[in-house]
Amino acid sequence: MKDLNDIMAMAQNVQAELEKAQASLDTIEVEGQSGGGLVKIRASAKGRILGVDIDDSLLQPSEKQMLEDLIAAALNDARAKADAASQGEMSKLTSGLPLPPGFKLPF
């Protein structure tokens, strides 16, 4: 029965490490950009939007549609970078675990 206890202890350790990693994702900051840096979105690796920076040159009524498109593009860029940062942190955590190919954490 010792092997089962060892497996359970290892699973609890992995769960604790995953919880720590998830909590740390909110401290990692990424920046998405669009329009050559005219619109910038800061976000946490967990996907929480921290700030928006819009260049003054875009604040004209005639530029409304372009500004909306740039904001959407910057948000998508920030989200992609947040996902990459999150995956990087999770892969550090699971690098020593004998997981089958394609197995993703957290469940």
SS3 state of residue 55:
coil
More confident residue, 46 or 73: 73
Which range is least confidently modeled, 7-21, 23-37, 67-81? 7-21
Contact 41, 70 (CB under 8 A): no
Is the pLDDT reported for residue 106 higher than 60? no
Tell me the domains of the chain and their CATH numbers.
2-94 (3.30.1310.10)
Distances (CA, A) of 104 to 19, 38, 84, 97: 15, 36, 14, 12
Mean pLDDT of the chain: 82
The answer, as to whether pTM is greater than 0.75, is: no
